[in-house]
Amino acid sequence: MALHKSGEDYLETILMLEEKNGYVRSVDVAAALGFSKPSISRAMTLLKEQNYITMDRDRLIRLTETGRVKANEVYGRHKALTRYFVEVLGVEETVAEADACNIEHVISRESMEKMIAHLSALNRA
């Protein structure tokens, strides 16, 4: 089953919270995204059913291998897009972050690869 933008956002947020805190709870995801706990609970249930996350008896959220691959994919696109907008185009960082958050879900593989290659070439120059 294809993962929608909201599902990708949840996985990306779980990954970022895990990197920051070392653990993730539903309440952390709710706070990070500004959603209600019931909304997050429903989303976590769906992600669990799709084998993107697990929840232990203490209700700690962990990414499965599939979930981690997808989260890293989305987060990688986000970071590269943000960097490109800031460093190449001169976009202000908060605007670049917001734009990257939207574009990361729809950009083609070809465009993403070309953009990353362009960033790499700039770093070598």
**Are residue 118 and residue 82 in the same domain, yes or no?**
yes
The boundaries of the domain holding residue 95 are 75-124
- Whether residue 41 sits in one domain with residue 16: yes
Phi, psi of 8 (to 5 degrees): -65, -40
Same domain, 79 and 58: no
Q: How many domains does the structure of the chain reveal?
A: 2
pLDDT value at residue 122: 83
* Gyration radius of the chain's alpha carbons: 16
Paired strand residues for 62: 54
Mean pLDDT across the chain = 93
- Answer yes or no: pTM beyond 0.75: yes
| % of the chain at pLDDT higher than 90 | 85
pLDDT at 1 over 70: no
Choice between 109 and 125, residue whose per-residue pLDDT is larger: 109
* Same-domain pairing of 95 and 110: yes
Residues 58 and 79 placed together within one structural domain of the fold = no
CA-CA distances (angstroms) from residue 79 to 85, 86, 108, 119? 10, 11, 16, 12
- Residue 2 has a pLDDT of 64
- Is 98:81 a contact under the CB 8 Å cutoff? no
Q: Is 54 helix (H, G, I), strand (E, B) or coil?
A: strand
> Which pLDDT score, from 0 to 100, does residue 83 have?
93
Is the same domain home to 58 and 33? yes
- Using one digit for the tens of pLDDT, what is the confidence trace for 63-117? 999 999 999 999 999 999 999 999 999 999 999 999 999 999 899 999 999 999 9
Can you give the CATH number for the domain in which 11 is found? 1.10.10.10
pLDDT band for position 16 (50/70/90)? very high
